[in-house]
Structure 1
Amino acid sequence: MSTIRPIAVLSLVVASALVAGGCSSSSAAEESTGAAAAETVTFSWDRNVAGEDEEPRYEETTVEVPADPERIVVFDMASLDTIGALGGEVAGAPLDSVPEYLQGYLAEDAFNAGTLFEADLVEIESQQPDLIVVGGRSSALYEDLSEIAPTVDLSLTGSYTENLERNATFLGQVLGAEEEAATALAEVEAGIEEARAVASAAGTGLGVMVSGGKLSALAPSGEDASGRGARGGLIYDAFGVQPVVEDVEAATHGEPISFEFLLEHDPDYLWVVDRDAATGAEGTQAAAAVLDNDIVKQTTAYQQDHIVYLDPTAWYIVFGGLDTTQIMIDDVMQIAQ
């Protein structure tokens, strides 16, 4: 039975952290020289503390992180996106996983922090980061990384727009870019609403993932409001596409579908994610080539030129950052042209 992961609660408290001075004369000296107290930002979320094979069990976790940190290590690509979009830069990341359009947000001397699934703990500790951010695929690294530096988990949990607002607001506070975050959020939220209006008025749709020459149907997230379910349901949940069948998952008897399924349900639009292009898989057919067959050519979507190829990196790898959300909005708005 699916368990709904609670939406993380954000506590954006900018607090003055008193530096332990050891004696009153030292404190007085600091006051006389006008030394400013260091600021911190407090972030709280519900973390799954259950073991790998146990039912999820959530516990509120609160972390204080330094405001305006000098060295940030990021394992969550959506957070790297937002940090860069708000004028910050990242000192370390799993460099092989950083999409090309986000590489400009890395420091010139950015170090390789490992992979999305395995952190190079020795290297990270030697670099002395002030803040570490995990999320999604890298959430399992939290325990080890939190022993090195303040670490927060900005995983997608529940509503896409709520999470986008939560994370951008928090990172804006951390970077001292509150106004920039508010402005950027207003722009992308207006864009999402515009895209929703267009998509919801366009008739029925089906999200399809293509990988290894095979098709899988994407379904609204429903109870699976985090991780893989949320990602697959974005085209419906965030952007308002009307599913061609009420219960996509039930209609597919799981996820894999045939070309005949497309013809049988015949949605007005096909929204396609090329997983192999996103992951850089070698020796595979492009999604457009896989869908270039006699059965698909009989569908309404093909005949009316309503097959929309979504940016695979944005929709499958990153999803959640400010720049990436704009890419997703632009993808959906293709049908308005």
Structure 2
Amino acid sequence: MALNRPLVTLSIVAASALALAGCASSNDADAASGDDGSGETIEFTFQQNVAGEDEEPEYVEETVDVPKSPESVVFFDMASLDTWAALGGPAAIGAPLDSVPDYLADGVADDAFNAGTLFEADLVEIEAAQPELIIVAGRSAALYEDLKGIAPTVNLSSEGSFEETLERNTAFLGEVLGAEDEAQAAIDDIEAQIEDVRAKTADIGTGLSVMVAGDSISALKPSDGDYSGRNLRGGLVYDVFGVQPITDDIEEATHGEPVSFEFLEDYDPDYLFVTDRNAAVAEEGAQTAEVVLDNEIVHSTTAWENDQIVYLDPTAWYIVFGGLETAQIMIDDIANAIS
């Protein structure tokens, strides 16, 4: 299956909830247990963090019976929506609509309801819709406990490297859809393209991945096997695409990541890979990364002089961060920059 770019505090009103509960049918119990009427389900196991917001993570194993070929799915994870749509799944009936990027808009039904935000679920709307399946991950993983009583809910957060998580989640969604062959073909295609890119990055010299937020920059480092949180996202340029970092210990060199423009001049990477958080989150009044980096110090670097400052797709690299179409965008970003 070849992929081409582009495919394109929980909210609840007590009175309404009570009214819905009073009207609920016996289908509620079937939905929460994973019984879609056909009786055919898939058992899926994942790790769920049960610690509080300011506590050290504590993971427990959760196993959910997921109905096969569900027609009504609510997505709180854009990467999962991406892969679901790429494998031919029916359009989502609900999602945090303000967070769906343009290139994934076709994966959401025209009459889809707004399920809340990536951090806050509209439980009343979701329960009224009675979806057969709900998917969370990453930013929305904390919603799991509140959503699992409405319908079978799975957490597809990263467990392992970017490639391992993409393969696991694609295989799972392919099985749910009965599209196992298509899922495997898609993964094989992505893996082959990544290997091609890695073969080319071996010859481009050194690189530095940075994030621009406000008018400041942070140097991102390889994950070094720690795939938790920002380490996974920050290390992608090196870990997935094989770019040689400018120093063996970026964290030590930067004293904890935030850097000055002089850092770029001193270490002088051949390539600078830029994630524009300002653009990704539409930070009001913030300048674009191109403007922030347009100064005399940056102009003196090899990357600027050789036109080797690479502006990565901010939505793909910072917001969605995963999924088949998004992985293709990321591959294209690197491949086109070094070709």
TM over 0.5: yes
Separation (CA, whole Å) in 2 of partners of 1:145 and 1:106: 20
Among 286, 311, 321, the alignment partner of 1:319 is 321
Deviation at 1:238, TM superposition (A): 1.1
Amino acid at match of 2:47: D
Counterparts of 1:110-125 in structure 2 under 5 Å? Answer: 110-125=112-127
Corresponding pairs, count: 302
Which residue of 2 is the match for residue 147 of structure 1? Answer: 149
Alpha-carbon deviations, 1:111-131, whole Å to 9, x = none? 100000000001000000000
Alpha-carbon deviations, 1:89-131, whole Å to 9, x = none? 2111000000011011101211100000000001000000000
Which residue of 2 is the match for residue 41 of structure 1? Answer: 42
Q: Describe the SS at the equivalent of 1:295.
A: helix
Which residue of 1 is the match for residue 336 of structure 2? Answer: 334
Separation (CA, whole Å) in 1 of partners of 2:38 and 2:209: 51
Amino acid at match of 1:230: L
Which residue of 1 is the match for residue 285 of structure 2? Answer: 283
Deviation at 1:37, TM superposition (A): 4.9
Which residue of 2 is the match for residue 73 of structure 1? Answer: 74
Greater CA drift, 48-57 or 130-139: 48-57
Corresponding position: 1:52 with 2:53? yes
Deviation at 1:226, TM superposition (A): 2.2
Counterparts of 1:154-193 in structure 2 under 5 Å? Answer: 154-193=156-195
Q: Describe the SS at the equivalent of 1:79.
A: helix
Provide the TM-score with structure 1 as the length reference: 0.87
Provide the TM-score with structure 2 as the length reference: 0.87
Separation (CA, whole Å) in 2 of partners of 1:98 and 1:326: 17
Amino acid at match of 1:156: S
Separation (CA, whole Å) in 2 of partners of 1:256 and 1:204: 19
Separation (CA, whole Å) in 2 of partners of 1:287 and 1:50: 36
Separation (CA, whole Å) in 1 of partners of 2:38 and 2:158: 33
Percent of counterpart pairs with the same letter?
Answer: 64
Q: Which runs of 5+ in 1 are unaligned?
A: 1-35
Which residue of 1 is the match for residue 13 of structure 2? Answer: none
Among 282, 297, 305, the alignment partner of 1:295 is 297
Separation (CA, whole Å) in 2 of partners of 1:153 and 1:125: 18
Separation (CA, whole Å) in 2 of partners of 1:80 and 1:37: 24
Deviation at 1:330, TM superposition (A): 0.3
Closer, same or farther in 2 for the Cα pair 1:290/1:37, shift >3 Å?
closer
Deviation at 1:310, TM superposition (A): 0.5
Counterparts of 1:7-46 in structure 2 under 5 Å? Answer: 37-46=38-47
**Preserved contact between residue 197 and residue 331 of structure 2 (Cα < 8 Å):** yes
Among 90, 108, 131, the alignment partner of 2:92 is 90
Q: Describe the SS at the equivalent of 2:70.
A: coil
**Preserved contact between residue 74 and residue 90 of structure 1 (Cα < 8 Å):** yes
Q: Describe the SS at the equivalent of 1:96.
A: helix
Which residue of 2 is the match for residue 33 of structure 1? Answer: none
**Preserved contact between residue 263 and residue 296 of structure 1 (Cα < 8 Å):** yes
Separation (CA, whole Å) in 2 of partners of 1:37 and 1:110: 25
Corresponding position: 1:307 with 2:309? yes
**Preserved contact between residue 194 and residue 241 of structure 2 (Cα < 8 Å):** yes
**Preserved contact between residue 204 and residue 338 of structure 2 (Cα < 8 Å):** no
Counterparts of 1:201-212 in structure 2 under 5 Å? Answer: 201-212=203-214
Amino acid at match of 2:65: E
Amino acid at match of 1:40: T
Alignment RMSD (CA, Å): 1.3
Q: Describe the SS at the equivalent of 2:40.
A: strand
Closer, same or farther in 2 for the Cα pair 1:125/1:84, shift >3 Å?
same
Q: Describe the SS at the equivalent of 1:301.
A: helix
**Preserved contact between residue 157 and residue 227 of structure 1 (Cα < 8 Å):** no
Amino acid at match of 1:63: V
